[in-house]
Amino acid sequence: MTIRPVPLDKSYRLLNHGPTVLVSAKNDNTENVMSASWVCVLDMFPAKLTAVLDKKSFTRQLIEKSQKFAIQVPIAKQAEQVIGLGTQSYLDNPNKLADNHIELFYQDGFNVPLVKDCAAWLICRLIPEEYNQQNYDLLIGEVIGAWADNRIYENGHWKFDEISDEMKTLHYIAGNQFYITGKGLVVKD
């Protein structure tokens, strides 16, 4: 695996297919990761995204303190970890990362933890919008760094038709059920 940078003006492609994601943040020396399904592209120039995170979530508290966060696109072989990170709170279990076998790494120049083995990573700067945050739990982030695993995403395109199911991204439905990304369909001009 090689982690390659993705141009910021093309980073929307990492989320445009609507995957379930992992959200990570750090403040002081405290790191946390949570699962989220309500994350989507907002704008391309500059690249922005939205995330709905309950104000009670510990990860959101870290984001609001540090003003930075990361969105990761996990793959099917990480499904159990995604469930664990979404059903356990750091407030109840400060060992949730270790208990879910989460390995973190950092990209040069960024003090935001990233989850190993994902398909893609986007680091964001929080754009403070107090009204949206308090009334709708809606966070807005400007993408300031983006990368992808070249086995899964390369030259601006996902390679879902070429890879095994365990490498495909997840789409959470309910009750611990996911769908994985399927076959591509190209409509000719």
* 164, burial (CB in 10 Å: exposed 0-12, middle 13-18, buried 19+): exposed
For residue 54, what pLDDT is reported? 96
> What residue segments make up the domains of the chain, in order of their start?
3-180
DSSP H/E element including 64: helix 58-66
pLDDT surpassing 90 at residue 37: yes
The encoded tokens of residue 43 equal 């704008």
Q: Chain-wide mean pLDDT for the chain?
A: 96
Give the mean pLDDT of 143-149: 98
Model pTM? 0.96
Separation between Cα atoms, residue 38 and residue 43, nearest integer Å = 16
Domain 3-180 fold: Pnp Oxidase; Chain A (2.30.110)
Q: What is the largest CA-CA distance in the chain?
A: 53
- Nearest CA to 39 out of 73, 64, 66, 84 is that of 73
